[in-house]
Amino acid sequence: MLFDSDAAPKAHDLQHAPAVRETRFETQVEVVVLDAQGIVRIYPKSNVDIDVDEAREVIRRMAQTFGRVRRPTLVDVTALRSISRDARRFFAGPEPVEVVSASAMVVASPLAKAIGNFFIGLNKTSSPTRLFASEGDALEWLRGFLP
């Protein structure tokens, strides 16, 4: 299995979905899914570190696999150990905007929320970015950015 069942898209999230075929790919540290609604979901594997090379790889693979369509993107950072400063700068820069219309980060702890707010505040992201405590709330917000 590519990712654990807690990270998998939930059936109730897909009930009003337009007919889009789910597509996915996996990198060394992440599982990336384009769900049936057209939302990209990124699930880092447990306890991994993301560096700038991995950040570049996931954006390159998104463009290659899903096309150069700007899509809302959910990033579940609940299992992530760390993300390098250079990777954070890359994600906040102009390259991801080619494939990401908005980003919702799902965090699980007050520390993760503080780190996420710090990231957003320092890196002035190129597309709308918000933190959420639940995947459901994040998906609801992201639906407003569907093409």
Task: Specify the pLDDT at position 12.
Answer: 37
In SS3 terms, the chain reads as CCCCCCCCCCHHHHCCCCCCCCEEEECCCEEEEECCCCCEEEEECCCCEECHHHHHHHHHHHHHHHCCCCEEEEEECCCCCEECHHHHHHHHCCCHHHCEEEEEEECCCHHHHHHHHHHHHHHCCCCCEEEECCHHHHHHHHHHHCC
Note the residue count of the chain. 147
- pTM for this model (two decimals): 0.80
Task: Specify the pLDDT at position 118.
Answer: 75
Q: Per mean pLDDT, which range of 25-29, 30-34, 103-107, 119-123 is the poorest?
A: 119-123
Task: Specify the pLDDT at position 113.
Answer: 73
Task: Specify the pLDDT at position 50.
Answer: 95
Q: What is the mean pLDDT of the chain?
A: 83
Taking the C-alpha atoms of residue 132 and residue 116, their distance in angstroms, rounded to an integer, is: 10
Residue ranges of domains in the chain, CATH in brackets: 17-145 (3.30.750.24)
What confidence tens digit (pLDDT) does each residue in 19-42 have? 456 899 999 999 999 999 999 999
Task: Specify the pLDDT at position 62.
Answer: 96
Residue that the structure tokens 């996915």 belong to: 24
